[in-house]
């Protein structure tokens, strides 16, 4: 895999791990009650999507186990509807989608580096 793809994958991994860490010992309700928490989580998810959008077609094709288009679509929704964000969907992303993504990204880095 190209070096620039690996850099973007590392950025995705770092942002995903940050989001999971920020959400540790938190609840869904905290997204409603703590604006700083919400902004940090949303920014992390945006960063994951931005980095995913930079992965080359060849890089994406080499790892179809990653839902690249879904990740980028989530970023686009967050960026373009920033005052009408579905916080339930954000919470589900953090709690359900990011842990397996972290695992998959680590596997890619282990294999490719």
Q: Round the average pLDDT of the chain to a whole number and report it.
A: 95
pLDDT, tens digit, 9 for 90 and up, residues 4-31: 999 999 999 999 999 999 999 999 999 9
C-alpha atoms less than 13 angstroms from C-alpha of 61 in its C-beta half-sphere: 4
Cβ within 8 Å of residue 105, ≥6 positions away: 9, 12, 13, 16, 66
Predicted pLDDT of residue 80: 87
Higher pLDDT, 66 or 80: 66
């Amino acid at each position: 895999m190209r070096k620039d793809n690996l850099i973007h994958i590392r950025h995705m991994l770092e942002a995903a791990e940050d989001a999971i860490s920020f959400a540790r010992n938190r609840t869904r309700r905290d997204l409603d009650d703590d604006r700083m928490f919400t902004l940090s989580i949303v920014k992390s998810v945006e960063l994951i999507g931005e980095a995913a959008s930079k992965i080359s077609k060849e890089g994406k094709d080499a790892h179809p186990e990653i839902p690249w288009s879904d990740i980028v679509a989530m970023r686009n929704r967050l960026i373009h509807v920033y005052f009408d964000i579905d916080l339930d969907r954000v919470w589900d992303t953090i709690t359900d989608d990011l842990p397996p993504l972290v695992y998959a990204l680590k596997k890619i880095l282990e294999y490719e580096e």
